[in-house]
Amino acid sequence: MNFKKKLSAGEFVVLAEMNTPKGVDISELVTNARRLKDRVDAVVIPDMDNGVMRMSALGGGALLRREGLETIAHIYGRDKNRMALQGDVLAAYVLGIPHLLAVPAEPMANGDHREAGTVDDLGEIDILKMIRSLCEGVDMAGFELKGAPELTVGCAMSPVADDSQLAQEVETLSRKVDAGAQYVVTSPVFDLEAYGRIVDALKPLRVPLVANVFLLKNVGMARYISIHDPGSRISEDMIRRIRKAPDREAECIRMAGEAAAELKNMVQGVKITTLGWEHRLPDILSSAGM
Amino acid sequence: MITAVRKPMEEIIACVSPYDRILLVGCNECVSVCSAGGRKEVALLSSALQMHFLKQGKTIEIREMTLERQCDPEYVEELVNYMDGADAVLSMACGCGVQTIAARFREKPVFPAVNTTFMGASERQGVWSERCQGCGDCVLGITGGICPIARCSKRLLNGPCGGSTKGKCEIDANVDCAWQLIWDRLKALGLEKRIEDVIEAKDWRTSRDGGPRKIVREDLAS
pLDDT tier for residue B210 given thresholds of 50, 70 and 90: confident
Strands B168-169 and B164-165: antiparallel
ipTM, 2 decimals? Answer: 0.89
What percentage of chain A has pLDDT greater than the value 70? 100
Across the interface, whether the CB atoms of B204 and A107 are under 8 A apart is answered no
The predicted pLDDT at position A35 comes to 96
Residues of A whose CB is below 8 A from B210:
108-109, 114
A-contacting residues in B 84-103 (Cβ below 8 Å): none
Across the interface, whether the CB atoms of A117 and B209 are under 8 A apart is answered yes
Which stretch of A231-240, B120-129, B137-146 has the lowest confidence by average pLDDT? A231-240
Question: CB of A116 within 8 Å of any CB in chain B?
Answer: yes
Residue in chain B closest to A114 (alpha carbons) equals: B205
A-contacting residues in B 164-203 (Cβ below 8 Å): 201-203
Q: Which of A107, A115, A118 sits opposite B203 (nearest CB)?
A: A115
The predicted pLDDT at position B63 comes to 98
Across the interface, whether the CB atoms of B210 and A114 are under 8 A apart is answered yes
Distance from CA of A113 to the nearest CA of B (A): 10
Instruction: Fill in the amino acid letter for B178.
Output: A
pLDDT tier for residue A1 given thresholds of 50, 70 and 90: confident
Residues of A whose CB is below 8 A from B214:
none
Model confidence pLDDT, tens digit, residues A83-133: 999 999 999 999 999 999 999 999 999 999 999 999 999 999 999 999 999
pLDDT tier for residue A224 given thresholds of 50, 70 and 90: very high
pLDDT of residue A288 exceeding 80, the answer is yes
Question: CB of A105 within 8 Å of any CB in chain B?
Answer: no
Model confidence pLDDT, tens digit, residues A130-186: 999 999 999 999 999 999 999 999 999 998 988 899 999 999 999 999 999 999 999
Residue in chain B closest to A109 (alpha carbons) equals: B210
Question: CB of A108 within 8 Å of any CB in chain B?
Answer: yes
Q: Are A141 and A85 in contact (CB under 8 A)?
A: no
Residues of B whose CB is below 8 A from A117:
202, 204, 207, 209
Q: Where are the beta strands (DSSP E) in chain A?
A: 13-17, 42-45, 71-75, 99-102, 152-156, 183-188, 209-214, 269-273
The predicted pLDDT at position B222 comes to 81
pLDDT of residue A230 exceeding 90, the answer is no
Which stretch of A224-233, B95-104, B135-144 has the lowest confidence by average pLDDT? A224-233
Across the interface, whether the CB atoms of A115 and B204 are under 8 A apart is answered yes
Question: CB of A119 within 8 Å of any CB in chain B?
Answer: no
pLDDT tier for residue A231 given thresholds of 50, 70 and 90: confident
| CA distances to A208, B148, B167, B182 from B185, in Å | 62, 13, 13, 5
Q: Nearest Cα to B60, choosing from B95, B102, B93, B18?
A: B18
From the CB of residue A128, how many other CB atoms can be counted at a distance below 10 Å? 25
In this structure, what are the phi and psi dihedrals at residue A15, rounded to the nearest 5 degrees? -115, 150
Question: Considering the entire predicted model, what is its pTM?
Answer: 0.93
Model confidence pLDDT, tens digit, residues B158-187: 999 999 999 999 999 999 999 999 999 999
Distance from CA of B202 to the nearest CA of A (A): 7
The predicted pLDDT at position A161 comes to 86
Model confidence pLDDT, tens digit, residues B4-59: 999 999 999 999 999 999 999 999 999 999 999 999 999 999 999 999 999 999 99
Across the interface, whether the CB atoms of A108 and B210 are under 8 A apart is answered yes
What percentage of chain A has pLDDT greater than the value 90? 96
Question: CB of A81 within 8 Å of any CB in chain B?
Answer: no
Question: CATH number of the domain at B2-118, out of 3.40.50.1400, 3.40.225.10, 3.50.50.60, 3.40.50.2300?
Answer: 3.40.50.2300
Residues of A whose CB is below 8 A from B201:
115
Model confidence pLDDT, tens digit, residues A179-218: 999 999 999 999 999 999 999 999 999 999 999 999 999 9
pLDDT tier for residue A71 given thresholds of 50, 70 and 90: very high
Q: Which of B201, B207, B210 sits opposite A109 (nearest CB)?
A: B210
Model confidence pLDDT, tens digit, residues B61-113: 999 999 999 999 999 999 999 999 999 999 999 999 999 999 999 999 999 99
Q: List the domain boundaries for chain A.
A: 3-285
Q: List the domain boundaries for chain B.
A: 2-118, 135-201
What is the pLDDT of chain A when averaged over all its residues? 96
Q: Which of B201, B202, B211 sits opposite A109 (nearest CB)?
A: B211
Q: If one looks up domain A3-285 in CATH, what number appears? A: 3.20.20.220
A-B Cβ pairs (cutoff 8 Å, strict):
22
A-contacting residues in B 134-153 (Cβ below 8 Å): none
pLDDT tier for residue A11 given thresholds of 50, 70 and 90: very high
Distance from CA of B146 to the nearest CA of A (A): 21
pLDDT of residue A80 exceeding 90, the answer is yes
